[in-house]
Chains A and B, each alone.
Chain A
Amino acid sequence: MIADLANPERFERFVKPFWLTASALAVILLALGFYFGLFHSPADYQQGDTVRIMYVHVPAAMMSMACYTAMAVASIVGFVWKHPLADVAAKASAPIGAVFTALALVTGSLWGKPMWGAWWVWDARLTSELILFFIYIGYIAIWEAVDDKIRAARLAAIVAIVGFVNIPIIKFSVDWWNSLHQGESIFRRGGPTIDGSMLLPLFLMIGAYMMVYAALLVPAMKNELSARRIARLERMGGVSGVRPE
């Protein structure tokens, strides 16, 4: 099925039902996640109601890394196999991932002030996540800066793949070095250290964020394909004047 979608026309036929499904799921999961997260889950024994920031922070941080991983994989496929949709997918992922990263940084900061006593510290986890944000911005800047889109795709892919070095550093920073940020709570040996009543809203929100990503990614890819088609037609002189630039 994925191979069939390599054809941009088939891809465009697939976009609408996929987008509708993902958007509907995103709305439902977000509504449920916020309901359980804000009204139907307990306050933490230490953090009180501040624990609820976790339900927007943790999924944002996870998606900041998941988006980047998707971008790096798409970049490899695009760079090596020249798959026609791969660099479109990578390019479309970047702004979404950058927003997830910014959200993780901001919500983390809002949690850090009341809990730690500081908005920001330069420990390994926070610093590597901030670097991830800069890598996203750099990646987006390359697409904007290089006019020849084939060259831009190649350069951007190299940046995305090299930048992937940072992802395991973020993930394991709390194990490799002393950090102020707490360690892993969910995927750890011996099971999660989060009470079940708090895991429910957390997992709902993780699902919601994934659907938000899907619902934003596919139309962004479609727009990119349309923009490329317009650029191609303009070069051929077919529709000069359609985009007054």
Chain B
Amino acid sequence: MTRKQKRGVFIGFIFAAAALGVFAVLASLNSAIAYFYTPSDLQKLAKPPAGVIRLGGLVKQGSVAYPGGSTTVQFVVADKFAQTRVTYNGILPDLFREGQGVVVEGKLEPDGSVEASQVLAKHDEKYMPKELADALKKQGVWQEKNAPHS
């Protein structure tokens, strides 16, 4: 083997070892790296997680309510298969609305609902001018699956 080949093999080996190591760490941390649970994730867990959790999903249409006219807001975070009730007393982000993706941070209550201490809006990957969005809605071709948070 020439010295050049030796150097090539050496650096290839180091890179492969590093990649493997990082892969092993990430694979074992998998659920800890995920930023939030979805409602179906929560349902699937054998034991509900203790302490502060984050829950992500869409705010269910028609679920936002301010019971008793107070500042405390209640809504339901849903994914395709499951849903979780959330109670929150605080300032909601501007993008918060029904159908919008959100990530709420808070405590999981014994009844399966979440008492949120923070609500973050999750923006998706769609960008379009307001005029176009309005026009699509007017023509009736606006589909919820195309714009999950209109």
Contact of A51 among B4, B15, B127 (CB under 8 A): B127
Q: If A165-B18, A165-B19, A195-B127 touch, does A116 touch B93 (CB 8 Å cutoff)?
A: yes
Other A-B contacts than A45-B129, A185-B126, A185-B127, 14 sampled, CB-CB below 8 A, are: A43-B129, A44-B129, A46-B95, A116-B121, A116-B123, A124-B34, A124-B35, A162-B14, A177-B33, A178-B37, A178-B38, A180-B103, A182-B124, A193-B126
Nearest-neighbour CB distance to chain A for B36, whole angstroms, equals 5
- Of A76-84, A99-107, A209-217, the one with at least 4 CB within 8 A of chain B: A76-84
- A188: shortest Cβ distance to chain B, in Å? 8
Q: Give the size of the chain A interface in residues (CB under 8 angstroms).
A: 42
Q: Is chain A's binding surface mostly helix, strand, loop or mixed?
A: loop
CA distance A101 to B129 in the complex (A): 28
Interface pairs (21), CB distance under 8 Å: A42-B132, A43-B129, A45-B129, A45-B130, A115-B94, A115-B121, A115-B123, A117-B118, A118-B120, A121-B35, A122-B35, A124-B35, A162-B15, A164-B15, A169-B26, A177-B35, A178-B38, A182-B122, A182-B123, A195-B132, A198-B127
Distance in angstroms from A171 CB to nearest chain B CB is 14
Question: Which residues of chain A are near B18, meaning CB under 8 Å?
Answer: 162, 165
A180 B126 Cβ-Cβ under 8 A? no
Chain B interface, >50% SS class:
mixed
Q: Does A234 contact B (CB under 8 A)?
A: no
Closest to B134 in A: A45
Residues in A lying within 8 Å of B, measured CB to CB: 42-47, 51, 54, 76, 79-81, 114-118, 121-124, 157-158, 161-162, 164-165, 169, 177-180, 182-185, 188, 193-195, 197-198
Chain A residues in 8 Å Cβ range of B26: 169
A180 to B33, CA, bound (A): 12
Interface size class of B (residues with CB under 8 A): 35 or more
Task: Name the residue of chain B whose CB is nearest to the CB of A128.
Answer: B33
Bound-complex Cα distance A122 to B131 (A):
35
Asked whether B60 is an interface residue with its Cβ less than 8 Å from the other chain, the reply is no
Q: Is there a chain A Cβ closer than 8 Å to B149's Cβ?
A: yes
Bound CA span A116–B123, Å:
7
**Inside 8 A of A195's CB, which chain B residues have their CB?**
127-129, 132
The reply on B140 being an interface residue by CB < 8 A is no
What residues on A are CB-neighbors of B4 within 8 Å? 80-81
How many angstroms from the CA of A81 to the CA of B3 in the assembled complex? 10
- The CA-CA distance from A46 to B128 in the complex, in Å, is 8
How far is B113's CA from A9's CA once the two chains are assembled, in angstroms? 70
The smallest C-beta distance from B85 to any residue of chain A, in angstroms, reads 20
> With A and B bound together, what is the CA distance between A122 and B26 in angstroms?
15
In the complex the two chains form, is B93's CB within 8 Å of A117's CB?
Answer: yes
Task: Closest B residue to A164 by CB, please name it.
Answer: B15
A79 near B11 with CB under 8 A, answer: yes
Complex Cα distance, B150 from A211, in Å, reads 38
Q: A79-B7, A80-B11, A81-B4 are in contact. Are A121 and B120 (CB under 8 A)?
A: yes
Interchain CB contact under 8 A, A45 and B132:
yes
* Given A114-B94, A158-B11, also A194-B35 (CB < 8 A): no
Assembly CA distance A80 to B127 (angstroms): 44
